Amino acid sequence: MTLSDPQAPAGKLSRPAIEIDNLNKWFGSYHALRDVSLTVGEQEIMVVCGPSGSGKSTLIRCLNHLEEYQEGRICVFGQELARDQKSDRFIHQTMGMVFQNFNLFPHLTVLQNCTLGLTWLRKKTESEARDIAMGLLERVGIEHLADRFPGQLSGGQQQRVAISRSLAMDPKIMLFDEPTSALDPEMVKEVLDVMVKLAETGMTMVCVTHEMQFARQVADRVVFMQDGEIVEVGPPEQVLLHPQWDRTREFLNHIL
């Protein structure tokens, strides 16, 4: 059993952003998360990897209240989450999430996808919202597609829209649930580039991904999960190049 390992780079753990303490979750009788404890520091980039079914997606969906959990506690910036799945305004204001399947709203244009939350929740006027959204779309390099509908875009472009849509709400933490797994190889890079740029701005990020190149490049720590447990946590050079556990090495041999 390896618990959370505070081997984060100095200066980054000034203040914990997310504290997960002995989290347990069952789907029916299936024990999906087993005593998961982990602390993510502010401005830290955390990459979660592991074979499919290891509970990594479930973990970050718990963070965002998309799944309820049965035991343990999660604190975000010191505030504890309710355990049952109720929409929690604080959480959704603090965290943005990017999904594997983009989940853009197909009946709205790219721009409307990004301004929706701003006009309806942040009570911005239409022109303010438009300015913010266009700025973000520019940052991810698709401002020229603002008036298209998601169905007219490639996967990589859609995922970049999804990232801007989340960023528009000005979250403190971004969660990425396998953001590149549904993409053609040629489009993976454009999404990763956006994520690297985002990491450079000091955003706290938790990414479930198999892109080890990305992990090596920007991650502060890498978490390896197996069967609902955290096997290994540490800086990328350590976990990816000199893993302590046989299971980690086996997994890395498969995907690298």
Partner 1 sequence: MSEQKLKHFVPTPPRLPATNEQNLLRRIQKQCFNSIGNSLLTISVLVLIYYVAKSFLDWAVFNAVWNAATRRECMDISPDGACWAGVIDWFNGLIYGRYPDEEQWRVNGGVVMGLLWLLPLMNRRIAYRNSILISWITLYPFLGAYMFLGGTFGQDVGIIHMVFTSLAAGYFILLYLNWMLCAAGQSSLPERVTPLTSKLFRRGQHMNGFLLVWAVLSILCGVALAQVNLEPVPVDRWGGLFLTLIIASFAITMSIPVGILLALGRRSKLPVIHWLSMMLIELVRAVPLITVLFMAVTLLPIFLPSGAEPDKLSQVLFAVCLFAGAYMAENIRGGLQAIPDGQYEAAQTLGLGYWLTMGLIILPQAMRLMIPNIMTSFISMLKDTTLVSIIGLFDIMLMARNISNDKNWIGLHTEPLALISILFFVMCYGMSQYSLNLEKRLKAHRS
Q: Given the rule CB under 8 A, which residues bind partner 1? A: 64-66, 87, 89, 92-93, 95-97, 99, 101, 103-107, 116-117, 120-121, 149, 151-152, 162, 165-166, 169
Nearer Cβ to partner 1 (169/233): 169
| Interatomic CA distance for residues 89 and 227, integer angstroms | 31
- To partner 1, the closest distance from the beta carbon of 98 in angstroms equals 9
- To partner 1, the closest distance from the beta carbon of 173 in angstroms equals 12
| Interatomic CA distance for residues 84 and 91, integer angstroms | 13
Nearer Cβ to partner 1 (127/253): 127
- To partner 1, the closest distance from the beta carbon of 64 in angstroms equals 6
The 10 Å Cβ neighbour count of residue 194 is 22
Nearer Cβ to partner 1 (26/149): 149
Interacting residues of 66 by C-beta distance below 8 A, sequence separation 6+: 85, 97
Nearer Cβ to partner 1 (65/221): 65
- To partner 1, the closest distance from the beta carbon of 155 in angstroms equals 14
- To partner 1, the closest distance from the beta carbon of 198 in angstroms equals 17
Nearer Cβ to partner 1 (29/87): 87
Q: Is beta strand 30-41 parallel, antiparallel or unpaired with respect to 16-27?
A: antiparallel
Nearer Cβ to partner 1 (28/151): 151
- To partner 1, the closest distance from the beta carbon of 120 in angstroms equals 6
